[in-house]
């Protein structure tokens, strides 16, 4: 099944029959990815009086309660409300869902005790490409990312000027396979978040950051259409399901 999409007055054919899901789901239990010092999410039958929400335990339906934090427990998309005093909902910020996207692969560079993604690396990977979104896959890219326990591990992160570059290039949607674009313990400086959303200038209300994705090694770098789907939570962040579609030559 194929579709023709018109983007900036140019028609593109995309393959709808072969979506490339780059999200990590929320799973109850210890095999779920976690970060920010939280325990794993819980998915368990609701119990009230004699009612139990599990058919195998005598209930009429499966009726689960779910306890999770979108920032810690899987792929999530966040808006500038993540770092502002004023409440802003990602459900309101994101009103379009298809974007021309570039997938790039980056090997974070050693800097002191850290591994970082630099402005120079992103400039080399993106060149003069004009994109609405960028998907950053870091290497090594092992499947254990889907269940990694990130707390207290000092994962790689973006330098502030690297986030500035993406902003200045007009990238509206940044997706990355790390728990944050910023250093895990940075005393609340959040340099990359602040630079990307331009909080010291004209705040980019509709720009989003998606973290904890997983881009399989079978997905080549290059140009795709991105369908950025999220659950309609009125919150600064929501669980999300970014899906890539190949563009036919």
Residue 77 tokens, joined: 């998309």
- Give the Cβ contact number of residue 158 at 10 Å: 32
Q: How much is the average pLDDT of 89-108?
A: 96
Q: Given pLDDT bands bounded at 50, 70 and 90, which one contains residue 233?
A: very high
Radius of gyration from C-alpha coordinates of the chain: 19
DSSP code of 61?
S
Checking if the pLDDT of 202 tops 90, the result is yes
**pLDDT for the residue numbered 173:** 98
- Pairing relationship of beta strands 20-21 and 237-246 according to DSSP bridges: antiparallel
CA distances in angstroms from 17 to 3, 13, 14, 178, 227, listed in the order given = 10, 12, 9, 28, 14
Are 131 and 101 in contact by the 8 Å Cβ rule? The answer is: yes
Give strand pairing partners of 175: 135, 210
User: 31: alpha, beta or left, given left = phi > 0 and alpha = psi -120 to 50?
Assistant: alpha
Looking at residue 207, what is its pLDDT? 98
pLDDT of 240 higher than 90: yes
DSSP strands (E only) in 76-202: 76-78, 98-106, 109-111, 114-117, 133-138, 157-158, 173-176
> Which CATH number applies to 20-26+70-246: 2.40.10.10, 2.60.40.3080, 3.40.50.620, 3.50.30.50?
3.50.30.50
- Provide the pLDDT for residue 28: 95
- For residues 57-67, average pLDDT: 96
Q: What would the pLDDT profile of 130-181 be if each residue is shown by its tens digit?
A: 999 999 999 999 999 999 999 999 999 999 999 999 999 999 999 999 999 9
> What is the share, in percent, of the chain residues with pLDDT greater than 70?
100
Confidence of residue 11 (pLDDT cuts 50, 70, 90): confident
pTM: 0.96
Q: How far apart are CA 72 and CA 38, in angstroms?
A: 7
Is residue 5 very low, low, confident or very high in pLDDT (cuts 50, 70, 90)? confident
Pairing between strand 133-138 and 98-106? parallel
Is there a contact between 35 and 150 (Cβ–Cβ < 8 Å)? Answer: yes
Tell me, rounded to whole angstroms, the distance of Cα 134 from its chain centroid: 11
């Amino acid at each position: 099944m194929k579709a023709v999409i018109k983007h900036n007055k140019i028609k593109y054919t995309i393959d709808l029959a072969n979506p490339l899901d780059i999200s990590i789901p929320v799973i109850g239990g210890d095999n779920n990815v976690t970060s920010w010092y939280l325990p794993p999410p819980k998915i368990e039958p609701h119990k009230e009086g004699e009612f139990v929400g599990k058919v195998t335990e005598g209930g009429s339906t499966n009726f689960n309660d779910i306890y999770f934090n979108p920032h810690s427990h899987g792929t999530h998309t966040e808006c500038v409300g993540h770092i502002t005093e004023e409440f802003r909902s990602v459900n309101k910020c994101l009103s379009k869902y298809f974007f021309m996207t570039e997938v790039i692969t980056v090997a974070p560079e050693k800097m002191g005790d850290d591994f970082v993604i630099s402005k120079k690396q992103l400039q080399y990977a993106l060149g003069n490409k004009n994109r609405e979104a960028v998907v950053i896959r870091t290497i090594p890219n092992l499947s254990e990312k889907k269940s990694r326990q990130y707390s207290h591990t000092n994962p790689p992160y973006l330098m502030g000027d690297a986030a500035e570059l993406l902003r200045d290039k007009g990238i509206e949607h940044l997706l990355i396979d790390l728990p944050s674009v910023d250093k895990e313990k940075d005393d609340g400086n959040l340099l990359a978040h602040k630079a990307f959303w331009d909080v010291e200038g004209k705040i980019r209300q509709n720009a989003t950051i998606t973290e904890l994705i997983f881009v399989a090694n079978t997905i080549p770098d290059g140009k795709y259409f991105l369908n950025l789907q999220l659950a309609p939570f009125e919150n600064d962040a929501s669980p999300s399901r970014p899906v890539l579609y190949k563009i036919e030559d």
